[in-house]
Structure 1
Amino acid sequence: MKKAEMGRFSISPDEDSSSYSSNSDFNYSYPTKQAALKSHYADVDPENQNFLLESNLGKKKYETDFHPGTTSFGMSVFNLSNAIVGSGILGLSYAMANTGIALFIILLTFVSIFSLYSVHLLLKTANEGGSLLYEQLGHKAFGLFGKLAASGSITIQNIGAMSSYLFIVKYELPLVIQALMNIEDKNGVWYLNGDYLVLLVSLVLILPLSLLRNLGYLGYTSGLSLLCMVFFLIVVICKKFQIPCPTEDGSILNETMNSTLALAPYLASNVTNAGSCQPRYFIFNSQTVYAVPILTFSFVCHPAVLPIYEELKGRSRRRMMSVSKISFFAMFLMYLLAALFGYLTFYEHVESELLHTYSSVMKTDVLLLVVRLAVLMAVTLTVPVVIFPIRSSITHLLCAAKDFSWWRHSLITVSILAFTNLLVIFVPTIRDIFGFIGASAAAMLIFILPSAFYIKLVKKEPMRSVQKIGAVFFLMSGVVVMIGSMALIVLDWVHDASAGGH
């Protein structure tokens, strides 16, 4: 899910990213062990912010001008892991099914390394640029254009994260209700229609929570979300050894399978040849283009890096990079296991949302029902957390000098939620959300913006230095990834539309 995917750390979930500016839209009050969302330096003239905290400046200046961090190393790892993991994890098996095991591992490795490298660039830029706000770094580097680029990318990423969460509600809630009420035929039953349920959940649960001025207990949903994803991973691994693979004639390899499994639709639609149960290592097809965007969507955590860095006890760039390396390695393993075991369960028949794939095979399984309920609860409570920074960014851009207004506060909230609901209702699959956001906003946040800010703001390194040349190549690779992925995805949409697929 990374997230994913948004700025999900101890106060939010992938999973995903947000604009962490200080304004009257909300007032966070969390335990000191959790990473703060708002900057402690917002009231300081940005041009006079003298961050960075080099050890030779003396500890006294460090502690008086900039508050010392209070979050332990371990808690910071947990926070950053929360910021990485998200709904993107549900699409990784689909990516593997359309790339093959070997190519997927290669892509996963490169995307994780590139994401970690961009964190390195971002931390060094924050040190040299004198700000722990992503948008402020953009403003320092390129003026209003840089600020809008950073704010816009974070907002689009967050809207994509919200959409992916509501897609999970659309896909999974009807199945949960159907299983709990033991309904066989859902045709014509309005409360089993995913579109109606998304609107109902948005109005009854998400909107009231989103209208609050203080996040309160919602800040803890990130921890719940991470636990849900770990539980989801455990179930995916276990189900690999319980769900049989069909043979060419449709018989079941495991004749002792529980008789409650509804395998008929799975067999009828998925059995094509005897080799369908053989893993493939390199695959190239029309859906392969979605692999890199899904992976980039799953690793976006960069707007959360700076607030976590701000709160890190014994704050230093080297210490924060250690936090990042551990978090990225843990999420790399988690993503790899989830993708691998999901793929080895369904092979090329994995749907774009893995959890939904199980509904074709196991409709009455209690363990899967518990997973669905846990994931649904986590994502439902996470959507309001994601709305807060989006609304804050919009308010800051449009009317920063105005006093708080409940009318404006409510109008922006309703507009954001309505727009996201329209996306979820009219966009065909969650794959399109993962693909588009991953190719656009996620590519900006991972590749383009950190390298561009680094090149512009880090003055002590000449352009011919290895570091600057590396950043230039990283920037160029990000542009290629974004343009190439977007072009291929749009071509796939056009082809599907002409073929009647959309």
Structure 2
Amino acid sequence: MEDLAPVNNSDGTKLIEEEEPTQPTSGLTGGSVNLANSILGSGIIGTPYAFKQAGLPLGVILLFAIAGITDYSLNILMKAAELAGSRSYQDLLQASYGLPGYYFLTCIQFAYPLVAMIGYHVIIGDTISQVCERIFGENHVLANRYFVISVITLLILLPLSFYKNVTKLVKVAFLSMVLLILLCVVIIIRIGTIDIEVEPGDWNFANINAIESVSILTFAFVCHHNAFLIFASLETPTQTMWKKVTHYAVVMATIFLLIVGVTGYITFKHFTQGDLLQNYCYTDDLVNIARVAFAITIMCTYPLECLVCREVVENFIVRHGWVGSEPTLERHLINTLIIVGIALGVSMSTECLGLVLILNGIFGAIPLIMILPAACYIRWEGGKWYGWQKLPAICLLVVGIAVVISGIITIFVDHTVAECKTGEAFDYCNETNIQLDRQLSS
């Protein structure tokens, strides 16, 4: 989108803030870290489970394939927006496919980050409550996951969610990336301290549940719902700059996902859970440090998802004339409270992160990454619809539709997706605790 004049989005935000020079912007590094942080949410901790479902070798292949698809789809998404003269994802879908396209995207673009927020609540409940159980005992109020989720939401997540501009979250995103490095280090260290016997099938090249793996990995990479907000925050929002941002962000995210996925699966093999940190014993203090670090990472990513939900709601209600086009503080506060309240309430009904990842992957991430960017690019790129330039987008569209259909079928067939356990439910935990106690005593 080169040489665009300052213009308002339909959601009230500005693509380029030339009229307000004091508005903060981010450069290549800030934009890349913000985009990478958007990718590296709850999906990273589910990557080992994705490798379990697909088989480790096939899982790694799928990881690199979806990384390439993510980079490609982010670029054709912005290219289509430039050709259509659109400044937001909703505007692009309406310009491409009318009101049905607009409403379809509005539902997905609201539901996807909302379900991601629900997943973040689940992770916070899993991690912080186990750490508090280790410190204060299992009967302490802070060991109650529902109490922990509620308190952290009120004291940390809600205040962070009131931010209006993604650029202000750059420092938070940098903190998130640093803590993810700590998480990776701890997971690598723990490979040698947990001894689990190999069972038949642990080293299969491919497993029958590979479609679930595609859903989880797609969920892990999706950031398209944030793409226009991050693009608008760049100092020089051009196609050239955007390509650099997406390349750097996808590479950073892929490295983290690969490290956590491979090392996590190698450690627990057939025991691997949807939330990898649930596999570790709550008495493992080194992992408890990682639990706290990852919980903070989730808290850093949470407000970005809330911001997207709020922008979608604002765009929708303004468009239908229910409120004035000028944003107000009161409306901002009310929308934020409602969105966070919904995410908090729904998160109390489940403790299984794997199910959340799979469902959001099938119904949210795959349309956002594969189907919709490809459909918009095919619509606006010149030439015949079956031309060579459009062929990758056509393939992406077909694959996306096929994965959604296959994923829905798999959910009904595989009833294990709704099952989850904590580390203490596994026999290896007692043996691991004994080993750790010996290490401490020596």
Both structures adopt the same fold (TM-score exceeding 0.5)? yes
Please say if 1:340 is aligned against 2:262: yes
Q: In the alignment, which of 191, 202, 223 is matched to residue 240 of structure 1?
A: 191
Q: Tell me which residue corresponds to 1:7.
A: none
Q: CA 1:201–1:330 in 2, change beyond 3 Å: closer, same or farther?
A: closer
Q: 1:314/1:199 Cα in 2 relative to 1: closer, same or farther (>3 Å)?
A: closer
- Structure 1, residues 445-466: CA drift from partner, whole Å, max 9, x if none? 11111011112222x2222311
What's the CA shift for 1:315?
5.3
Select 2:384's aligned residue among 428, 446, 462: 462
Q: Distance in 1 between matches of 2:236 and 2:332?
A: 37
The match for 1:230 is 181
**2:430 maps to what in 1?**
none
- State how far apart, in whole Å, the 2-side matches of 1:209 and 1:327 are: 23
After the TM superposition, which of the residue ranges 417-426 and 228-237 deviates more from structure 2?
417-426
Q: Distance in 2 between matches of 1:212 and 1:328?
A: 25
Look up the match of 1:206.
157
Q: 1:496 to 1:134 in 2, by over 3 A?
A: closer
d(CA) in 2 for partners of 1:143, 1:23: 17
Q: Provide the rounded CA distance (Å) in 2 between the counterparts of 1:496 and 1:171.
A: 16
Q: Deviations over 1:388-440 (max 9, x none)?
A: 33123213212454245666545433332232123212134011110001111
Say whether the 8 Å CA contact 2:199–2:270 is kept in structure 1. yes
Partner of 2:86: 131
Residues 1:432 and 2:355 aligned together: yes
Q: 1:343 to 1:224 in 2, by over 3 A?
A: same
**Cα distance in 2, alignment partners of residues 432 and 466 from structure 1:** 38
CA distance in 1, matches of 2:270, 2:294: 24
Deviation at 1:104, TM superposition (A): 0.6
**Structure 1: where are the runs of 5+ without partners?**
1-19, 25-37, 43-62, 247-273, 498-502
Q: In the TM superposition, what is the alpha-carbon distance from 1:291 to its structure 2 partner?
A: 0.8
TM-superposition CA deviations, 1:168-187 (whole Å, max 9, x none)? 11101111112222x2xx2x
**TM-score normalised per structure 1:** 0.72
Q: Is the 8 A contact 2:11 2:312 kept in 1?
A: no
SS of equivalent residue, structure 1 residue 282: coil
Q: What is the alpha-carbon distance in structure 1 between the residues aligned to residue 352 and residue 129 of structure 2?
A: 16
Q: CA deviation at 1:125?
A: 0.7
User: Residues 22, 236 of structure 1: CA spacing in aligned structure 2 closer, same or farther, 3 A cutoff?
Assistant: farther
Aligned residues of 1:343 and 1:350 also touching (Cα < 8 A): yes
The one of 156, 172, 182 aligned to 2:111: 156
Partner in structure 2 of residue 85 of structure 1: 40
- 1:328 is aligned, of 246, 250, 253, to 250
Greater alpha carbon shift after TM alignment, 202-211 vs 371-380: 202-211
> 2:221 aligned with 1:299, yes or no?
yes
Name 2:335's counterpart in structure 1: 412
Is 1:492 matched up with 2:414? yes
When residues 192 and 434 of structure 1 are mapped into structure 2, their CA distance, relative to the original with a 3 A threshold, is same
The alignment partner of 1:461 has SS state of coil
User: Retained in 2: the 8 A contact 1:277–1:347?
Assistant: no
Distance 1:306 1:163, change over 3 A: same
Opposite residue 115 of structure 1, the aligned amino acid is T
The two structures, once aligned, show a CA RMSD in angstroms of: 3.3
CA contact (8 A) 2:54 2:213 kept: yes
Alpha-carbon offset, residue 216 of structure 1: 8.9
CA distance 1:280–1:369, shift in 2 (3 Å): same
- 1:237 partner letter: I
Q: Aligned ranges for residues 382-421 of structure 1 at < 5 Å?
A: 382-400=301-319, 401=321, 402-403=323-324, 408-421=331-344
User: Structure 1, residues 7-31: CA drift from partner, whole Å, max 9, x if none?
Assistant: xxxxxxxxxxxxx95757xxxxxxx
Q: Give the Cα–Cα distance (whole angstroms) in 2 for the partners of residues 336 and 319 of structure 1.
A: 26
Which SS does the other structure have where 1:420 is aligned? helix
For residues 346 and 238 of structure 2, what CA distance do their matches in structure 1 show? 41
Tell me, in whole angstroms, the C-alpha distance in 2 between the residues paired with 1:327 and 1:213: 22
Which residue of structure 1 aligns with residue 97 of structure 2? 142
1:204-283 mapped onto 2 (5 Å cutoff):
204-210=155-161, 220-241=171-192, 243-246=193-196, 274-276=197-199, 280-283=203-206
Q: 1:443 pairs with 357, 362, 366, which one?
A: 366
CA deviation profile, 1:266-307 (whole Å, cap 9, x unmatched): xxxxxxxx534995042425x544211110001112233344
* Counterpart pick for 2:398 among 476, 494, 500: 476
User: Per residue, is there more helix in 1 or in 2?
Assistant: 2
* Contact 1:88–1:297 under 8 Å retained in 2: yes
Q: State whether residues 92 and 335 of structure 1, in contact with CA within 8 Å, keep that contact through their aligned partners in structure 2.
A: yes
* Matching residue's letter, 2:316: L
**1:15-30 matched pairs, under 5 angstroms:** 21=9
- Residue 319 of structure 1, CA deviation: 4.5
**Counterparts of 2:85 and 2:159 in 1: how far apart (Å)?**
38
Uncovered stretches (5+) of structure 2, i.e. residues with no partner: 1-7, 420-442
Please, which moves more after superposition, 201-210 or 324-333? 201-210
- Report which of the two structures shows the higher radius of gyration computed on alpha carbons: 1
